[in-house]
Structure 1
Amino acid sequence: MLDSLLSPSLSVINGTPERPDLSHLYTPSLTQYIRRKTITVMIGDVPMGSDYPIRVQSMTTVDTMDTKGSVEQTIRMIEAGCEYVRITAPSVKEAQNLENIRNELRARGYITPLVADIHFTPNAAELAARIVEKVRINPGNYADRKRFEFIDYTDAAYAAELERIRAKFLPLIRICKEYGTAMRIGTNHGSLSDRILSRYGDTPVGMVESALEFLRICEEENYYNTTLSMKSSNPQVMVQAYRLLVQRLDEEGLKPYPLHLGVTEAGEAEDGRIKSALGIGTLLEDGIGDTVRVSLTEEPEREAPVARALIDRYTNRAASSKLITAITKYPINPFQYRRRTTHEVANFGGQNVPRVIADFSQVPVTDHNVLNPIGHFYLPVPDKWRMNDLGADYIYTGSQPAQFMLPNGLKQLLNYDVWRTFSDQINTFPVLTADEYLLARASQGPLQARLNFVRLSLPELSDELLSRLHNDTTVVLLISTDNAHAMPELRRLFVELINRELTTPMVVLRSYPNVPEEDIALYAATDVGGLLIDGLGDGIMLSSGVLVMLDTQTRQTSLNKNVGFSNPTPQTPEPSALKALNSLSFGILQAARTRITKTEYISCPSCGRTLFDLQETTARIRQRTDHLKGVKIGIMGCIVNGPGEMADADYGYVGIGRDKIALYRGQQIIKKSVPADRAVDELIDLIREDNRWLEPTLEAV
Structure 2
Amino acid sequence: MNKTYCPSLTEYKRRFSREVKIGDLPLGGLNPIRVQSMTTVDTMDTLGSVEQTLRMVAAGCEYVRITAPSVKEAQNLLEIKKELRKRGCTVPLIADIHFTPNAAELAARIVEKVRVNPGNYADKKKFDVIEYTDSSYAAEVERIRERFRPLVQICKQYGTAMRIGTNHGSLSDRILSRYGDTPLGMVESALEFLRLCEEENYYDVVLSMKASNTQVMVQAYRLLVQKLDEEGLQPYPLHLGVTEAGEAEDGRIKSAVGIGTLLEDGLGDTVRVSLTEAPEAEAPVAKALIDRYTHRAQEAKPIRPLPDMEVLARSAELKSEEDFAAFNARATTEPSDSPINPFQYFRRVTHEVLNFGGANVPRVLVDISRLGEMEYADLRAVGHLYSAFLDKFQMNDLGADYVYSGRRPVPFMLPNGLKEVVDYAAWLDAGQRPDHFPVLTQADYAVATDKHPELNFVFHNLASLTPAALDQLRHDATAVVILYTDNAHAMPEIRRAFFELLTNGITNPVIINRQYPELTPEQTQLYAATDVGGLLLDGLGDGVVLSTELLPERPKAEWLQTLDQLNQLSFGILQAARTRMSKTEYISCPSCGRTLFDLQETTAMIRKRTDHLKGVKIGIMGCIVNGPGEMADADYGYVGVGKGKIALYRGQEVIKKSVPEEQAVDQLIELMREDGRWVEKELVEEPVVG
TM-score (norm 2): 0.94
Residue 497 of structure 2 corresponds to residue 500 of structure 1: no
Alpha-carbon distance, 1:515 to partner = 1.4
Deviations 1:45-94 (A, max 9, x none): 00000310000010000000000100000000000000000000000000
- Tell me: CA distance 1:64–1:570, structure 2 relative to 1, closer, same or farther (3 Å): farther
Aligned partner of 2:586 in structure 1 is 601
Query: SS of the residue aligned with 1:473?
Result: coil
8 Å contact from structure 1 (residues 294, 306) kept in 2: yes
Query: SS of the residue aligned with 2:21?
Result: strand
8 Å contact from structure 1 (residues 358, 542) kept in 2: yes
Aligned partner of 2:321 in structure 1 is none
Q: Which amino acid aligns with 1:668?
A: E
8 Å contact from structure 1 (residues 90, 119) kept in 2: yes
Q: Which residue, 270, 276, 288 being the options, matches 1:309?
A: 288
8 Å contact from structure 1 (residues 43, 133) kept in 2: yes
Deviations 1:611-668 (A, max 9, x none): 0000000000000000110111000000000000010101000000001000000100
Aligned partner of 1:619 in structure 2 is 604
Aligned partner of 2:403 in structure 1 is 395
Q: Which residue, 396, 407, 426 being the options, matches 2:415?
A: 407
CA distance in 1, matches of 2:605, 2:390: 34
Aligned partner of 2:144 in structure 1 is 165
CA distance in 1, matches of 2:589, 2:464: 45
Alpha-carbon distance, 1:569 to partner = 5.7
- RMSD between superposed Cα atoms in Å: 1.1
Aligned 1:91-102 pairs, distance under 5 A: 91-102=70-81
Residue 233 of structure 2 corresponds to residue 254 of structure 1: yes
CA distance in 2, matches of 1:191, 1:474: 47
Aligned partner of 1:339 in structure 2 is 347
Aligned 1:235-634 pairs, distance under 5 A: 235-328=214-307, 329-423=337-431, 425-440=433-448, 444=449, 446-545=450-549, 571=554, 573-634=558-619
Alpha-carbon distance, 1:423 to partner = 4.1
Q: Which amino acid aligns with 2:248?
A: A
Deviations 1:410-438 (A, max 9, x none): 11111112221014621001110000000
Deviations 1:499-536 (A, max 9, x none): 00000000001111121211111100100000000100
Deviations 1:298-344 (A, max 9, x none): 00000000000000000000000000011134210000100000000
Alpha-carbon distance, 1:379 to partner = 2.5
8 Å contact from structure 1 (residues 480, 509) kept in 2: yes
Q: Which amino acid aligns with 2:361?
A: V
CA distance in 1, matches of 2:560, 2:682: 23
Aligned 1:144-183 pairs, distance under 5 A: 144-183=123-162
Unaligned runs of 5+ in 2: 308-336
8 Å contact from structure 1 (residues 545, 570) kept in 2: no
8 Å contact from structure 1 (residues 281, 530) kept in 2: yes
Q: Which moved more, 1:338-347 or 1:357-366?
A: 357-366
Aligned partner of 1:636 in structure 2 is 621
8 Å contact from structure 1 (residues 364, 402) kept in 2: no
Deviations 1:254-280 (A, max 9, x none): 000000000000000000001100000
8 Å contact from structure 2 (residues 124, 174) kept in 1: no
CA distance in 1, matches of 2:465, 2:200: 54
CA distance in 2, matches of 1:516, 1:675: 43
8 Å contact from structure 1 (residues 365, 401) kept in 2: no
Q: Which residue, 221, 239, 247 being the options, matches 2:200?
A: 221
Alpha-carbon distance, 1:464 to partner = 1.1
Q: Which moved more, 1:404-413 or 1:605-614?
A: 404-413
Aligned partner of 2:29 in structure 1 is 50
Alpha-carbon distance, 1:381 to partner = 3.9
Query: SS of the residue aligned with 2:429?
Result: coil
Query: SS of the residue aligned with 1:418?
Result: helix
Q: Which moved more, 1:206-215 or 1:519-528?
A: 519-528
Q: Which amino acid aligns with 2:275?
A: L
Unaligned runs of 5+ in 1: 1-8, 11-19, 547-567
8 Å contact from structure 2 (residues 353, 455) kept in 1: yes
Q: How many residues align?
A: 655
Q: Which amino acid aligns with 2:157?
A: E
CA distance in 1, matches of 2:285, 2:404: 31
8 Å contact from structure 2 (residues 432, 452) kept in 1: no
8 Å contact from structure 2 (residues 187, 209) kept in 1: yes
Q: Which amino acid aligns with 1:672?
A: K
Q: Which amino acid aligns with 2:5?
A: Y
Alpha-carbon distance, 1:195 to partner = 0.6
Alpha-carbon distance, 1:246 to partner = 0.2
Q: Which amino acid aligns with 2:566?
A: L
8 Å contact from structure 2 (residues 257, 577) kept in 1: yes
8 Å contact from structure 1 (residues 633, 652) kept in 2: yes
Q: Which amino acid aligns with 1:176?
A: C
Query: SS of the residue aligned with 1:512?
Result: strand
Aligned 1:193-204 pairs, distance under 5 A: 193-204=172-183
Query: SS of the residue aligned with 2:95?
Result: strand
Q: Which amino acid aligns with 1:221?
A: E
CA distance in 2, matches of 1:699, 1:434: 43
Alpha-carbon distance, 1:145 to partner = 2.5
Residue 663 of structure 2 corresponds to residue 678 of structure 1: yes
Q: Which amino acid aligns with 1:47?
A: P
Q: Which amino acid aligns with 1:376?
A: H
CA distance in 1, matches of 2:338, 2:676: 45
Alpha-carbon distance, 1:570 to partner = 7.9
8 Å contact from structure 1 (residues 377, 700) kept in 2: no
CA distance in 1, matches of 2:373, 2:637: 44
Q: Which moved more, 1:690-699 or 1:250-259?
A: 690-699
Q: Which moved more, 1:419-428 or 1:611-620?
A: 419-428
Q: Which amino acid aligns with 2:167?
A: N
Q: Which amino acid aligns with 2:258?
A: G
8 Å contact from structure 1 (residues 267, 603) kept in 2: yes
Percent of aligned pairs with the same amino acid: 68
TM-score (norm 1): 0.92
Query: SS of the residue aligned with 1:95?
Result: helix
CA distance in 2, matches of 1:231, 1:216: 20
8 Å contact from structure 2 (residues 404, 420) kept in 1: yes
Aligned 1:654-665 pairs, distance under 5 A: 654-665=639-650
CA distance in 2, matches of 1:110, 1:48: 19
Q: Which moved more, 1:241-250 or 1:322-331?
A: 322-331
